Chain A
Amino acid sequence: MTSRQFRRLATRVGFWVLVAVVLIYAIFPFYYAVITSLKPSSELFTVSYWLDSLDVSNYVTIFSQGSFVRAIFNSILVSISVVAIALLLGVTASYALGRVRFRGRTTVMLVILGVSMFPQVAVLSGLFEVIRGLGLYNNPAGLILSYTIFTLPFTVWVLTTFMKQLPMELEEAAIMDGATPWVTITKVFLPLMWPAMATTGLLAFIAAWNEFLFALTFTLTDSQRTVPVAIALISGGSQHELPWGPIMAASVTVTVPLVILVMIFQRRIVSGLTAGAVKG
Chain B
Amino acid sequence: MASVKLDKLNKVFGHDHIIKDVDLGIGDGEFVVFVGPSGCGKSTLLRLIAGLESITDGELRIGEQVVNDLPPRERGVGMVFQSYALYPHMTVYENMAFGLKLAKTANETIEERVMATARILQLEELLHRKPKELSGGQRQRVAMGRAMAREPRILLFDEPLSNLDASLRVQMRNEIARLHQRLGATVIYVTHDQVEAMTLADKIVVLNAGQVEQVGTPQELYQRPLTKFVAGFIGSPTMNFLPAEMVAGTTEGCRVHANGIGELDLPQDPGRHGAGDALTLGVRPEHLGLAPASGDNSFEIVNVEYLGNEVYIYFEPKDGDTLLIHRSEAPSCWEIGQHAALLPSVANVHLFDSDGCALALISTRDAA
Binding site for B on A (CB under 8 A): 167, 169-170, 172-179, 183, 187-188, 191-192
Contact = CB atoms under 8 A, between A and B. Distances in A.
Contact of B99 (A178, A191, A192): A178
Contacts of A178: 71-73, 99, 102-103
A150 to B, nearest CB: 31
A170 B99 contact: no
B55 to A, nearest CB: 16
Contacts of A175: 51-52, 71-73
B272 interface: no
Contacts, number: 54
A98 to B, nearest CB: 17
Contacts of B85: 167, 169-170, 172-173
B72 A169 contact: no
B83 interface: yes
Interface stretch (B74-82, B183-191, B236-244, B253-261): B74-82
B72 A167 contact: no
Nearest to B152: A176
Task: Tell me what chain B mostly uses at the interface: helix, strand, loop, or mixed.
Answer: loop
B87 A170 contact: yes
A183 B50 CA distance: 19
Contacts of A188: 87
The interface size bin for chain B is 20 to 34
A173 B87 CA distance: 9
Nearest to A172: B52
Contact of A176 (B79, B83, B89): B79
Nearest to A169: B85
Given A178-B103, A179-B102, A188-B87, A173 B81 contact: yes
B203 interface: no
A210 B261 CA distance: 86
Contacts of A172: 52, 79, 81, 85
Max count, chain B CB within 10 A of own CB: residue among A169, A176, A179: A176
A51 B345 CA distance: 101
A176 B50 contact: yes
Nearest to B78: A176
Interface in B70-110: 71-73, 77-79, 81-83, 85-89, 98-99, 102-103
Instruction: Please name the 6 residue pairs, one residue from A and one from B, whose CB atoms are nearest each other, closest first.
Output: A178-B73, A177-B99, A169-B85, A173-B85, A191-B89, A169-B81
B146 interface: yes
Interface in B139-159: 146-147, 150
A173 to B, nearest CB: 4
B260 to A, nearest CB: 49
Contacts of B99: 176-178
Interface string B44-83: 0000001110000000000000000001110001110111
